[in-house]
């Protein structure tokens, strides 16, 4: 870890100001010299590993008073960006009306991490690609733009098959983001010029030719709230992984359905562990809508979701696995008692 300046922001303006200090430098957010600190469960790790070298840390935990609300009561569900994963996962109404959210959080990380980590930090967590996290590997387009990708022909069992480019195949590692994608959530952002909101699905950027740019957030911008419209009791999160707990997904599926009289009126499908960004399977959704559910339909939807998947030496299995996980999650969502 390198020496850094520690600042504590007591209100959003102060946080935004401190984080925008070097906006003129035109750095992508991941390279910004000032980084926000919430739970610290990713940032501190990456600083110890010398992957991130911020000159300043802006502790935004004092904003928790206004930014950690869990409000499932009204028309919309509002979740503050500084709410702890564990608090949201344990919330009765979340469990009842948004099981995909509760389970995506409960199946992530460990109890200790969930107690520390915030929702905003969770969606911003960076890839677990071993080559990205080890600075002794020179070739990483995410860390050193233009240096190449060591994972492409290296050990890539954990890497992505969807949304990949020739520059990067690093997997987006989180779980909760898939739930937000499936629920078509909106994210509210606080920045220098006030607040803005956008669909959560527009937050993350596929690597393309610039894997170092991971989101559409600018330096000085902070996520303040996630908003979900409506209630989604018929929703599931299914996660396949190497061990029973405390492990990232090899493949996961977040499903939210509106089924009436045996017909799928609305279907939302998001995939995790297999893609470079939280992945929405729109082709699959289109196939499902308006149909009566059967196993054949689930299979066709899964095939559609992975039609463009590209496997490499160690991760090709994720294509077949991802289809089975998605089809099984659809079955579970259709048959669940609500």
Residues that bind other proteins (CB under 8 A): 1-3, 50, 110, 128, 130-131, 134-138, 150, 153-155, 157-158, 238, 240-247, 250-251, 317, 321, 324-325, 327-328
Nearer CB in complex with other proteins: 156/186: 156
Closest-CA residue to 220 (of 19, 7, 14, 9): 19
Closest of 82, 28, 116 to residue 190, by C-alpha: 82
Instruction: State the minimum distance, in angstroms, from the CB of residue 99 to other proteins.
Output: 18
Taking residue 143's Cβ as centre, other Cβ atoms within 10 Å add up to 21
Q: At 37, which helix (H) or strand (E)?
A: strand 34-37
In the complex with other proteins, the residue whose CB is nearer, 205 or 241, is: 241
Cβ at position 51, least distance to other proteins in Å: 10
DSSP calls for 212-267: T--BSPPTT-EEEEEEEES--SSEEEEEE-SSSSS---SEEEEEEEEEETTEEEEE
Cβ proximity to other proteins: between 81 and 250 the closer is 250
- What's the closest the beta carbon of residue 277 comes to other proteins, in angstroms? 21
At closest approach, how far in Å is the CB of 280 from other proteins? 21
Judged by beta carbon, residue 1 or residue 338, the one nearer other proteins is 1
Compare residues 287 and 298 and give the one whose CB is closer to other proteins.
Answer: 298
Nearest CB to other proteins, comparing residues 229 and 246: 246
Our separate counts of H helices and E strands in the chain read 13, 12
Read off φ and ψ for residue 196, nearest 5 degrees: -145, 165
Measured from the CB atom, the residue of 138 and 308 that comes closer to other proteins is 138
Question: CB 48 → other proteins: shortest distance, Å?
Answer: 8
Contact between 215 and 29 under an 8 Å Cβ cutoff? The reply is yes
Whether the CB-CB separation of 124 and 178 falls below 8 Å is answered with no
For the sheet with 56-59, list strands across it.
5-8, 56-59, 34-37
| Closest separation in Å from C-beta 58 to other proteins | 20
Q: Which is nearer to other proteins, 253 or 277 (CB)?
A: 253
For 45, which DSSP code?
H
How would you class 62 by CB atoms within 10 Å of its CB: exposed for 0-12, middle for 13-18, buried for 19 or more? middle
Sign of CA dihedral 147, 150, 156, 161: positive
Of residues 42 and 68, the one with the C-beta less far from other proteins: 42
CB 98, min distance to other proteins, A: 23
Nearest-approach distance from CB 238 to other proteins, in angstroms? 8
Closest approach, Cβ 11 to other proteins, in A, equals 31
Q: Are 12 and 64 in contact (CB under 8 A)?
A: no
Distance set, CA 294 to CA 238, 298, 299 (Å): 19, 7, 9
């Amino acid at each position: 870890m390198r020496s850094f300046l520690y600042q504590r922001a007591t209100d959003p303006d102060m946080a935004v100001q401190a984080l925008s200090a070097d906006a003129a430098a035109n750095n992508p957010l991941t390279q910004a010299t000032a980084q926000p600190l919430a739970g610290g469960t990713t940032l501190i790790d990456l600083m110890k590993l010398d992957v991130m070298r911020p000159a300043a840390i802006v502790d935004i935990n004092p904003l928790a008073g206004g930014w950690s609300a869990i409000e499932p009561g009204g028309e919309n569900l509002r979740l503050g960006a500084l709410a702890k994963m564990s608090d949201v996962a344990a919330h009765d109404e979340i469990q009842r009306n948004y099981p995909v959210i509760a389970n995506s959080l409960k199946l992530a990380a460990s109890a200790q991490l969930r107690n520390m980590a915030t929702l905003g930090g969770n969606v911003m967590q960076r890839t677990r690609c071993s080559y990205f996290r080890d600075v002794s590997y020179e070739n990483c387009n995410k860390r050193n733009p233009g240096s190449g990708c060591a994972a492409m022909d290296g050990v890539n069992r954990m890497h992505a098959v969807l949304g990949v480019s020739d520059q990067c195949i690093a997997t987006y590692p989180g779980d909760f983001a898939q739930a937000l994608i499936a629920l078509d959530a909106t994210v509210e952002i606080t920045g220098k010029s006030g607040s803005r909101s956008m669909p959560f699905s527009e937050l993350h950027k596929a690597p393309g030719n610039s894997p170092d740019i991971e989101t559409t957030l600018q330096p000085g911008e902070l996520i303040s709230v996630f908003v979900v419209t409506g209630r989604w009791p018929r929703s599931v999160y299914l996660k396949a992984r190497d061990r029973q707990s405390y492990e990232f997904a090899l493949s996961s599926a977040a499903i939210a359905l509106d089924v009436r009289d045996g017909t799928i009126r609305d279907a939302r499908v998001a995939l995790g562990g297999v893609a470079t960004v939280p992945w929405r399977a729109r082709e699959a959704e289109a196939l499902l809508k308006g149909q009566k559910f059967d196993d054949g339909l689930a299979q066709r939807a899964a095939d559609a979701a992975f039609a463009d998947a590209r496997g490499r030496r160690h991760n090709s299995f994720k294509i077949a696995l991802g289809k089975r996980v998605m089809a099984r999650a659809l079955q579970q969502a259709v048959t669940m008692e609500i």
